[in-house]
Structure 1
Amino acid sequence: MRELFPAKQVWGFILSLVLTAAALLVYFFNMSRTIGMTIFIVTAFIQASVQLVVFMHARETDDSKSIFANIYYALLIALVTIFGTLLCMIWGWKY
């Protein structure tokens, strides 16, 4: 019966609830903007990783290396886009 119980999914759900509660504490304790945004970003990335690995079963396929390669590539493109936008629009870099 133990092998039928979805322990991994239950722990993933509990971890998701804890991360959501941690992000909610930013609002209830009226933290500064810098600390609040840092907590939001860190908990968001951790929660996205938990969702991907636990609930979307990214590690359970034979093609998991290409799945993670695509995720890393998408993350790289997103970071280049974000920092490129910041570089041009906020930090005033001109070519």
Structure 2
Amino acid sequence: MMILFLVYLFPLVGIFAGLLAFISNRKHLLNTLLSLEFIMVNLFWFMVLLVSSVGGDLYFSLFFLTLAACEGALGLSLLVSIVRTHGNDNFSSFSVLSC
């Protein structure tokens, strides 16, 4: 029973650690994108654990993984665009009004 509790606890701790990293370290865009991707992977892990314990099929979780991959690709394309226009991904070096 304790092992089952720990299996469900690890992704939840990972989600909260990713949220903490997302909130606390907002200096560079790459760090925020990595923390968002870490949250998505832990959400996927938690969803797979829940769906497999209920006995359902995993089609919805594959759809979620596809959307998370698209979110990562969109974030990286925005990062490349910002680095090309501003020179770096430091949030303090550019303002919203100049974009």
TM-score normalised to the size of structure 1?
A: 0.50
The whole-number CA distance in structure 2 between the counterparts of 1:42 and 1:53 is 16
Greater relative contact order (Cα 8 A, min sep 6): structure 1 or 2? 2
Matched, 1:2 2:7: no
Structure 2: which 5+ runs fail to align?
86-99
Q: For the structure 1 residues 78 and 9, does the alpha-carbon distance in structure 2 shift closer, same or farther, using more than 3 Å as the test?
A: closer
Q: Deviations over 1:6-32 (max 9, x none)?
A: 2122111111122122222224xxx3x
Q: For the structure 1 residues 72 and 6, does the alpha-carbon distance in structure 2 shift closer, same or farther, using more than 3 Å as the test?
A: closer
> Which residue identity does 2:30 align to in structure 1?
T
Matched, 1:40 2:21: no
Q: For the structure 1 residues 12 and 24, does the alpha-carbon distance in structure 2 shift closer, same or farther, using more than 3 Å as the test?
A: same
Structure 1: which 5+ runs fail to align?
none
Q: For the structure 1 residues 77 and 23, does the alpha-carbon distance in structure 2 shift closer, same or farther, using more than 3 Å as the test?
A: closer
Q: Stretches of 4+ moved more than 2 A in 1?
A: 58-68, 70-80
Q: For the structure 1 residues 14 and 67, does the alpha-carbon distance in structure 2 shift closer, same or farther, using more than 3 Å as the test?
A: closer
C-alpha RMSD of the superposition: 3.7
Looking at CA atoms only, which structure, 1 or 2, has the larger radius of gyration?
Answer: 1
Matches within 5 A, 1:1-95: 1-3=1-3, 5-27=4-26, 31=27, 36-54=28-46, 56-57=47-48, 60=52, 63-64=57-58, 67-68=61-62, 70-71=63-64, 73-74=66-67, 75-76=69-70, 79=73
Shift of 1:48: 0.7
Report if aligned partners of 2:48, 2:58 keep a CA contact under 8 Å in 1.
no
